[in-house]
Amino acid sequence: MSRYIKPAGQAKFVDRYTKKMNELLVDLNVHEGSVKYGLMGAPLSKPSISHSGASMAPGAIRQAMGSYSTYANHTDQDLRDTQIVDFGDVVMHPTDIVESQDRIYQSVKDVIQTHNPEYFILFGGDHSVSFPSIKALHETKGKVGVIQFDAHHDLRNLDDGGPTNGTPFRRSIENSVLKGEHIVQIGIRDFTNAKAYADYAVKQGVKVYTMQDVLQDRIESIIRESINYLKKRVDYIYLSVDMDVLDQAFAPGCPAIGPGGMDSQTLLTAVQEAAKHPMVKGMDIVEIDPTLDFRNMTSRVASYVLFSFLKSKDLKI
């Protein structure tokens, strides 16, 4: 073809030295050897209690990745040779929500069994996607422990509304996919939960760090404490990052925004610190509604959550 023509949507100026983070995403067939990083999108938000467009987040986060380069200045790390196999997105059923969640479970399990990525990343969707994801990992990888960043417990009862985005960890416990004592919740905020669920957390042995704890202690200490707590109890540590753990000023695009949450830097430091540990091998990033966001800001933070994970894993090579 003519020298100046590129495929539709790809005709952007790039200089010869710059590689964008979204270019690390490769198709499975392009990839060679074993899969280090595997990524999947779960565009599901119909389970949400309130109106949510989180189904559009997998696309929005991938797009945000395209705004950033592969190089981390402070540590002089260039990720340009990193490959993240992008398995794609799970097709959702338009009117059967439980079926959709089951498709996520099936797809994660298939991918783990077939390609066995060393690290697995899931872009939600609302928080209900964590249950099928963790269930698949539980069945393939052994005992899973979770560090959940969230303003909410997500331990609501399932009888009243079925498997909504308020239930993934309750559902995990009730289905023996997780034990309560294998869950660490960080960033739980006042006036975002019912007492009944805080009580349930206590009863089930869920370890909880409130936002007040986060403000009083260094996040690195909390993370290290959490890792130390989990590492003797489980085989595989999974980070479940609900972006609404952030203050609304830093994550304006979450459905359940509010004041008094973390700033972006604290969350990024937390994920980076956690990812330093070799047992931390899975992560989901959930609860971004790009239709509510301002300039894709929340998806931009989400992309940095992934970059923070990658930076620590890269150092481990």
Enumerate residues 44-63 that contact Ca ion by CB under 5 A: none
Q: Which is nearer to Ca ion, 84 or 274 (CB)?
A: 274
**Residue 103 CB neighbours (<10 A):** 18
123, 40 in Cβ contact below 8 A? Answer: yes
- Residue 230 contacts by C-beta under 8 Å, 6 or more apart in sequence? 145, 147, 182, 184, 237, 279
Q: Which is nearer to Ca ion, 130 or 308 (CB)?
A: 130
Q: Name the token pair of 94.
A: 């338009």
Contact partner, 127, from Ca ion, a copy of itself, none, Cβ < 5-8 Å per class: Ca ion
Which of Ca ion, a copy of itself, none binds 244 (CB below 5-8 Å, type-dependent)?
Answer: Ca ion
Distance CA 93, CA 247 (A): 33
Of positions 152, 182, 189, 281, contacts Ca ion by CB under 5 A: 152
**CB 102 → a copy of itself: shortest distance, Å?**
9
Give the one entry of Ca ion, a copy of itself, none that residue 217 binds, where binding means its C-beta sits below a cut-off of 5 to 8 angstroms depending on kind. none
Q: DSSP state, 223?
A: H
CB of 232 to a copy of itself, least distance (A): 26
As measured in angstroms, the least distance from the Cβ of 275 to a copy of itself is 14
295 binds, among a copy of itself, Ca ion, none (CB under 5 to 8 A by kind): a copy of itself
Q: What is the CA 175 to chain-centroid distance, rounded?
A: 21
Query: What phi and psi, each to the nearest 5 degrees, are found at residue 53?
Result: -110, 30
Q: Which does 162 bind (CB under 5 to 8 A by kind): Ca ion, a copy of itself, none?
A: a copy of itself
- Interacting positions 88-147 with Ca ion (CB under 5 A): 127
Give the per-residue contact string, 212-251, with Ca ion (x = CB under 5 A; - = no).
------------------------------x-x-------
Pairing of strands 37-42, 119-124: parallel
Token pair of 255 as six digits: 């459905």
The smaller minimum CB distance to a copy of itself, of residues 116 and 215, is found at 215
Place of tokens 């190089």: 71
* Residues 259, 166 contacting (CB under 8 angstroms): no
Q: Is 94 in a helix, a strand, or coil?
A: coil
Q: Could you tell which of a copy of itself, Ca ion, none binds residue 69, using a CB distance below 5 to 8 A set by kind?
A: a copy of itself
Residues in contact with Ca ion by the rule CB under 5 A: 127, 150-152, 154, 242, 244
